[in-house]
A and B are shown apart, each in its own frame.
Chain A
Amino acid sequence: MNPALFIILAVIVLSSFLGVYAGRRMKMNLENWAVGGRRFGVILIWLLMAGEIYTTFTFLGASGWAYSRGAPTFYILIYGALAYTLSFFILPPIWKAGKAYGLHTQPDFFIKRYQSRWLGVLVAAIGIFSIIPYLQLQLTGLGLIVEEASNKAISSDWAIAISFVLSCAFVYTSGIKGVAWVSIVKDIMMIAAVGIVGIGVPLIYFGGFGKMFRTLIEQRPNFLAFPGGTTNMDVLWVMSTALLSGLGFYMWPHAFASAFSAKSAKTIKRNAVIMPLYQIPVLLVFMVGFTALLVIPGLKKGDMAFLALVNKTYPSWFMGFVGAAGAVTAMVPSAILVLFASTLLAKNIYQAGLNPRAKEERVMTLSRFMVLVIMVIALVFAIFFPNELVNLLILGYDGVSQFFPGVVLGLFWKRVTRVGVFSGIASGALIVSFLIISGRDPFLGMNAGFVALALNALLTVVVSLMSKPEKGGFE
């Protein structure tokens, strides 16, 4: 067994044990499963949220974009800052509603606020539809990283199968607490890997990032201003995409519901203050992408830039370390996505839509069972149809962003009504699907999801004002 493979397998197996161990002696009910008993302090919340935000996309995608597109990749840095700023203001009231009414999921929030089961079912359906391709992307990324880092000693399919089954195992035993615990391993390894490579490669090849940038500016004078190496990602695209992603970030069902796990609203505020510091590793990932462009130009797939440069620069055992970091970086978000997809299915599709009188124990058992079902479906897609779903990812991101007006107006504006929110979300989702499927993204230079969100917000307000005032569930 080569050292790289050994390191990768050891990390995957040991961190999964940690995840299983996290749930020992825990009575599993929905409260513990989905929201960790609402007992997480600043550190666990930070681990959980950082765990789900910094995914394989951060590793491969951000460096790949820097490599092939240049400046437009900066939108990642921007939207993070916007998302955390926003979370400072909206997550604490969301947490309070969760605490006051015992909410576990994002559709629960809509059901309670707007007193409508069917709105909950719609939100859950869009949520699940968005989660599946996101999960898919994590698994494909994991396979790519592990296969490359182990120098093909283990195939992508086996890497995906082993690590995903183990991720589902710790979700099954420990719920959200397992995810937060495995995040400890993930965060330490990823920060170390990104720190070493991101600071290291500009230093090794150019003697520092300043000289690296100077060389890049000489060779490609406009690469580091919008639209960089692209033709359609100009400044308007960056503005609209950063706004959409910043507003939409906490609208992902798993990101939204993570707020419920905190032990107090204050914990959430403190977490929002420190989260932006986590953007520094993203900058380092960009450095790797830019250095790769100068050192190993002409890669067919930009997403391979990070691994290819590490492979060229460092010994193989370090490649194993990066591979292991990449694997846990995919496992943590995969685990939480599976957790929430299964909870949405059991609680908000089955219970809210089909059988409102189902007991909580039954919903809990079903949630766990759904973990296995989703595991099998995701594995089949990841192994046999790896490319089918990735194209749906953008649609997913744009889809969940459409919840924004319903959430924020629901918190801060008494006059918003269920029919207003229903028409906003439904039309936002339809508009964005139409624009993307018919190849109109970007639309008028703007991100299509942003266009849909603007119309959705307008419609939500107008329809609410036209409909009869109603008493919301938070009053």
Chain B
Amino acid sequence: MAAILFEEVSMQKGTKLALILGAIPFVTLVFALPLVNRVKPVILGFPFLLFWILCWVVATPLFLFVAYLLEKRFNKPDQGDKQ
């Protein structure tokens, strides 16, 4: 039981792919901000900055869903997750 935690997080392929997807919001919603800090053009009624943020916020659950599927597909079944 005891060593479960560390073994599990040693990187499996699914985890690696999931991490790449998980990094996307940090790139687009934090580090890209200086590049998108403007009001125009207005897209679908939203000022550009807000439109950009919304796109990536709405995309986040999709990325996480794909990450979930990738982990399921490529990682060994989880010991502690029989439920």
Contact = CB atoms under 8 A, between A and B. Distances in A.
Interface of A: 71, 74, 77-78, 80-82, 84-86, 88-89, 93, 96-97, 99-100, 208-211, 213-214, 217, 221-222, 224-226, 235, 238-239, 242-243, 263-267, 269-270, 272-277, 279, 283, 411-412, 414, 474-475
Given A77-B53, A88-B67, A474-B6, A209 B60 contact: no
Contacts of A80: 57
A225 B49 contact: yes
Pick the 6 closest A-B CB pairs, nearest first. Answer: A210-B45, A264-B83, A276-B60, A224-B47, A273-B64, A276-B61
B25 A266 contact: no
Contacts of B22: 85-86, 88-89
A235 B64 contact: no
B45 A277 contact: no
Given A74-B50, A277-B61, A411-B5, A217 B39 contact: yes
A93 B8 contact: yes
A264 B54 CA distance: 31
The binding surface of chain A is classed by DSSP as helix
B65 interface: yes
Contacts of A239: 30-31, 33-34
13 contacts: A78-B53, A82-B25, A96-B4, A100-B1, A210-B44, A211-B45, A213-B46, A224-B39, A225-B47, A272-B64, A276-B57, A411-B9, A475-B3
A213 B45 contact: yes
B60 A84 contact: yes
B29 interface: yes
Given A225-B47, A273-B64, A242 B30 contact: yes
Contact of A266 (B8, B54, B81): B81
Nearest to A227: B37
Contacts of B56: 81
A273 B65 contact: yes
A85 B6 contact: no
B74 interface: no
B30 A243 contact: yes
Contacts of A265: 78, 80-81
Contacts of A99: 80
Contacts of B30: 78, 82, 239, 242-243
B61 A274 contact: yes
B9 A412 contact: yes
Interface in B42-83: 42, 44-47, 49-50, 53-54, 56-58, 60-61, 63-65, 67-68, 71, 78, 80-81, 83
Contact of B68 (A208, A210, A235, A273): A273
A211 B44 CA distance: 11
A474 B53 contact: no
Nearest to A267: B83
B12 to A, nearest CB: 13
A224 B45 contact: no
A72 B17 CA distance: 32
